[in-house]
Chains A and B, each alone.
Chain A
Amino acid sequence: MKNKFQRYISYTAVIIMLIWHAVLSAQQQQPQRFPRPEFEGGYVFPERQYPDQRGPIWEYVDVAVLVIALSITSWMVIKKRSRKGILLMSVFSLAYFGFYRQGCICAIGSVQNISLALFSKDYAIPLSVLMFFMVPLLFALLFGRVFCASVCPMGAIQELTGFRQVRVPVWLNSTLSAIPFVYLGLAVLFSATGSDFIICRYDPFVGIFRREAPYTMVIFGSLLLITGIFVNRPYCRYLCPHGVLQRIFSSFSVRHLKISPDECKSCRLCESGCPYDAILRSDAVREDEQVSKPFNGSLPYLLIVPVLAAGLGILMYNLSPVLSGASADVRLAREIKLERDKGIKATSKAATAFLESGKTEDSLYAEEARITGRFRKGAPWVGIFLGLSLGIGLFRFTIRNIRTEYEPDRGRCYSCGKCFKFCPVKAKTQ
């Protein structure tokens, strides 16, 4: 009897284990509370169509439209000198890139995708986004800011609504013009660390293009448009981060819009023609003026550039813990740490969800340290960029520029062509 039991015990154990395994594996599967029905009438499951994105061909259509629009605008600005043509292109861009493509895909925001793709090994961008970043800058290097003139939908909507022209005092204009540099620096920093895309979040006109948006966005956009009626192009001048790149590239442009179709007579008529103060006055050497050697006396001021770069680099490095708060993971880690230290129960939705998710706090803190480390590495470079731009901007005040004719400031000129009609010189017929 005992032998018999011993003989079967191993079999029994195996069977029990098999049943146990079956129960366990059944539990791990998706809970199928109700069995799949067995249809007798020949019912077939309906085929569900999952709609795809717009096909990739359309992205290249967008790129082609961009290149064609830029080419036509360059031709209008430099060869035809037609303000009407530029306005017509604005209407087209506003309709196509604005209302039809709804403000996305956009060159202004693409700088974030580029910087994230450059600094994150897991994120890559399609060719069309790369083209939307590169092509406008390439055109800026060749022909000036023709993209701003009438291809950018944000520029176009402001160009078409700028009815009056109120001059902004020079000191205010120059001070406010520093904002885009900071905006660009922060946008690149936040996107390179994978924390946030601030250009998209605070885009003022995308709500108008889509005709739906959070009310804050609508109010911000409308206020900018109303301001733009009097102070033309407020977004381009005092906010647009892509404009900074355009400004830098355009200052070295190969060809650029000219105010006068022929020889400038320095008649001063165009002085009041530019609402952006982008006309550099003719400033020839007077009879009694002794022009010293170039850079003579201004070289010591060049020292301000490295000093400012170093100072702002150090400042940004010290600010990096504050800036890293832009990342949701860092905020969550700090919240959890604070709650742990003070012995408070989780209050926010994110913290509750984290505590329920079963992830360890150490992994969260490690992630926080990783992101903060990236901010530590990136922030000083943003500071150096800001210091260099500010330093070079200040240093340029010390240089005596000799100009024998009125010419546009290549960095600030939007190539909008408003000054054409103020010039009394007619082009020589060939």
Chain B
Amino acid sequence: MESKEDKFSTRREFVKTAGRLAAIIPLAAIPVVLSKKEKVRGYVWQIDPMKCTACEQCRTNCIMTPSAVKCTNANPMCGYCDFCPGYLRQGAKKYSTAAEDQLCPTGAITRRFVEEPYFEYTIDEKLCDGCSKCVKGCGDFGNGSLYLQIMHNLCQNCNQCAIARKCPSDAVIRVPASRPYIRKDEGAENRAKVARMMKVRPPFHKWDFPPDIELSQSC
């Protein structure tokens, strides 16, 4: 009886040791395999303004309410127009700041007189819900200085962005976390870099970014 129990316990011990080894080997192998890759701080989601068609999907599909997507104004591109197609509703009676004349449904755009005949437009992000009505207006009739960006203080950085799944033009892409915004008002050199990144990227990959391109840390 004694020897039998010994046998059982030694067999059990053997299975356990073997199992421990079998469990620890893959666990140790994973960091070794992954450490061979380039070091990244990870990826974040961002909207490529060159591909965005201002389809209003960003407002409703983000898991956050209101959406983490906000409109932003690239001031160096802005025409500072009195008649701003992103600010005023089409067919508005007057070029005024009255609510009924504004295009933005939440009144998130504020208009400030600079000097004759220029007006400055700024976005109040607390009010903006990313509906992209102004983006469409500015892109269709203006300079296209209003564009959408995912704000990273609000974005939860989901593994699979709910907007990216619905975006019809594949404009929501993964970008390196070291360069989290694709800004329209950056210098021409930076914009050329962004354009080159977009061009090299294979067409259907939402996260493929060529690792060889050196990204500037300017923003």
- Interface residues of A, Cβ cutoff 8 Å to B: 30-37, 39-41, 43, 45-46, 48, 50-53, 56, 102, 104, 109, 112-114, 117-118, 120, 122-126, 129-130, 133-134, 137-138, 141, 191, 194, 196-197, 200-201, 210, 212-214, 248-249, 251-252, 254, 285, 291, 294, 328-329, 349-350, 352-353, 357, 359, 363-364, 367, 402
Q: Is the CB of A34 within 8 A of B79?
A: yes
Q: Is the CB of A104 within 8 A of B156?
A: yes
Question: Which residues of A lie under 8 Å from residue B151 when comparing CB positions?
Answer: 50-51
Listed by A's residue number, 7 A-B pairs whose Cβ atoms lie within 8 Å are A30-B144, A33-B142, A45-B76, A56-B41, A126-B177, A141-B20, A294-B8
Docked Cα-Cα span, A254 to B119, in Å, equals: 71
Q: What would 12 more interface pairs be, CB under 8 Å, given A48-B75, A104-B158, A125-B42?
A: A30-B144, A37-B80, A50-B149, A123-B43, A126-B41, A137-B27, A191-B159, A197-B160, A212-B65, A251-B19, A359-B203, A363-B203
Docked Cα-Cα span, A36 to B24, in Å, equals: 63
B89 to chain A, nearest CB (A): 19
Docked Cα-Cα span, A122 to B170, in Å, equals: 18
Q: Is the CB of B34 within 8 A of A40?
A: no
Check B23 for interface membership: any CB of A closer than 8 A: yes
Check B114 for interface membership: any CB of A closer than 8 A: yes
Docked Cα-Cα span, A53 to B203, in Å, equals: 27
Q: Is the CB of A36 within 8 A of B79?
A: yes
Question: Which residues of A lie under 8 Å from residue B114 when comparing CB positions?
Answer: 39, 41, 43
For B119, the closest partner residue in chain A by CB is A37
Q: Is the CB of A294 within 8 A of B19?
A: no
Q: Is the CB of B37 within 8 A of A134?
A: no
Check B196 for interface membership: any CB of A closer than 8 A: no
Q: Is the CB of B159 within 8 A of A113?
A: yes
Question: Which residues of B lie under 8 Å from residue A123 when comparing CB positions?
Answer: 43, 207
B152-197 CB contacts (< 8 Å) to partner A:
152-153, 155-160, 165, 168-170, 177, 180-181, 183
B176 to chain A, nearest CB (A): 10
Q: Is the CB of B23 within 8 A of A141?
A: yes
A141 to chain B, nearest CB (A): 6
Question: Which residues of B lie under 8 Å from residue A291 when comparing CB positions?
Answer: 4
B204 to chain A, nearest CB (A): 5
A5 to chain B, nearest CB (A): 42
Docked Cα-Cα span, A34 to B82, in Å, equals: 11
For B29, the closest partner residue in chain A by CB is A118
- Interface residues of B, Cβ cutoff 8 Å to A: 1, 4-5, 7-8, 11, 16, 19-20, 23-24, 27, 30-31, 33-34, 37-44, 53, 63-65, 72-73, 75-77, 79-81, 114-115, 118, 120, 122, 141-144, 149, 151-153, 155-160, 165, 168-170, 177, 180-181, 183, 203-205, 207-209, 211, 219
Given A212-B65, A349-B168, do A134 and B44 touch, yes or no (CB 8 Å)? Answer: no
Given A31-B144, A46-B75, A52-B152, do A122 and B158 touch, yes or no (CB 8 Å)? Answer: no
For B31, the closest partner residue in chain A by CB is A130
Q: Chain B's interface: helix, strand, loop or mixed, by majority?
A: loop
Q: Is the CB of B23 within 8 A of A248?
A: yes
Total A-B pairs, Cβ < 8 A: 160
Question: Which residues of B lie under 8 Å from residue A194 when comparing CB positions?
Answer: 205, 207
For A351, the closest partner residue in chain B by CB is B168
B85 to chain A, nearest CB (A): 10
Given A130-B31, A328-B165, do A117 and B37 touch, yes or no (CB 8 Å)? Answer: yes
Q: Is the CB of A200 within 8 A of B159?
A: yes
Q: Is the CB of B207 within 8 A of A353?
A: no
Question: Which residues of B lie under 8 Å from residue A41 when comparing CB positions?
Answer: 114-115
Question: Which residues of A lie under 8 Å from residue B34 when comparing CB positions?
Answer: 114, 117-118, 124-125, 130
Given A39-B118, A252-B19, A254-B20, do A112 and B204 touch, yes or no (CB 8 Å)? Answer: no
A46 to chain B, nearest CB (A): 6
Q: Is the CB of A294 within 8 A of B168?
A: no
Give 8 nearest A-B pairs by CB, closest first: A34-B79, A353-B168, A51-B153, A252-B19, A197-B159, A45-B75, A197-B160, A126-B42
A103 to chain B, nearest CB (A): 9
Docked Cα-Cα span, A165 to B105, in Å, equals: 51
Q: Is the CB of B30 within 8 A of A213?
A: no
Docked Cα-Cα span, A395 to B112, in Å, equals: 77
Question: Which residues of B lie under 8 Å from residue A138 when comparing CB positions?
Answer: 27
Q: Is the CB of B23 within 8 A of A196?
A: no
> Which residue in A39, A124, A197, A352 is a CB contact (below 8 Å) of B40?
A124
For B84, the closest partner residue in chain A by CB is A34
Q: Is the CB of B168 within 8 A of A352?
A: yes
B23 to chain A, nearest CB (A): 5
For A254, the closest partner residue in chain B by CB is B20
Docked Cα-Cα span, A96 to B170, in Å, equals: 35
Q: Is the CB of B153 within 8 A of A122?
A: no
B71 to chain A, nearest CB (A): 12
Q: Is the CB of B160 within 8 A of A196?
A: yes
Docked Cα-Cα span, A212 to B30, in Å, equals: 35
Instruction: Identify the interface centre among A37, A249, A352: most chain B CB within 10 Å of its CB.
Output: A37
